[in-house]
Amino acid sequence: MDPLRAGDPGLFTPNSVTWQMHGDPMMWVAGVRALYLQALHPRAVRGVMQNSDFRQDAWGRLLRTANFVGTTTYGTTEAAERAGARVRKIHSMLSATDPDTGETYGVDEPELLLWVHCAEIDSYLQVARRSGFRLTDELADRYIAEHRVSARLVGLDPDAVPANQAEMAAYFEKVRPELAAGPEARAVDDFLLRPPTHPLLVPAREVLWRRVAHLAYAALPPYAHALYGRPAPRPATVTRQLRVTGTLLRCVPARLRWQLPPKHILRAMSRLGPGSRPAPYKVGR
């Protein structure tokens, strides 16, 4: 019996680019880049800051996001749909207020969901490719198209979501005039550089975390650096730094990395068999 037919492969399946790429350790750097980018949309980041204790529970938020991505990528179809329904329900009950105009709006407005989605998927793709995860343009387009599925899960119309690199680039070009580094974005930037931690862990934060944060910030597009007002190394230098970091992290055995909670990949391999193990060399097969 085909080991991949021993259980429900989920929404993406081991044949997807997503399945192989999301097992890469550079996704953590990509996730931080996504936070930096998402914070540049004033209406979107306001919805986060006004509805959560971001500064006190930022680690929890990061882990919940990672859990959602892991569940939708490697979980069963039922688990992914359930996770999506939970997110949609939460978003439907939340709103934010523009302090300048007094306007109140729902955080589940399609334009806001679309921004969060595109900033996330673009960050995953850009960091992975620049750090040495080999994807042809055709496979990069396929990755973006696959995530019309995750867009649907959070409440978007899949047909209104970019399906390839050209459409993604056109979307960012269109939305750029709406972006700004307002007070909320500054708060996110400050947190990512100096997240609260136990006093005994401050040295580790300075040595390890700040390196991750600086690299994620450097990997942003130039217009984002201009909005934040903090310089970054030249793109070629950043790409070299991403490659070095990717090479080092990929030297850590995958089985060891995947032992970290919530262990979605190990559970998927247990459900589907060893042939479902994510690996870069399987992309495009």
Residue 65: what pLDDT?
86
Give the pLDDT confidence of 162-200 residue by residue, as tens digits.
Answer: 999 999 999 999 999 999 999 999 999 998 888 777 676
| Strand 104-106 to 95-97 pairing | antiparallel
Residue from 237, 207, 216 nearest 33 by CA: 216
- Report the SS3 class of residue 106: strand
Give the pLDDT confidence of 195-218 residue by residue, as tens digits.
Answer: 777 676 667 666 678 899 999 999
Give the pLDDT confidence of 250-262 residue by residue, as tens digits.
Answer: 999 998 999 988 8
Residue 5: what pLDDT?
46
The predicted model scores a pTM of: 0.93
Residues of the chain with pLDDT under 70: 1-6, 54-59, 198, 200-202, 204-207
Contact between 29 and 126 under an 8 Å Cβ cutoff? The reply is no
Rounded to whole angstroms, what are the CA distances from 175 to 17, 60, 172, 221?
27, 29, 5, 14
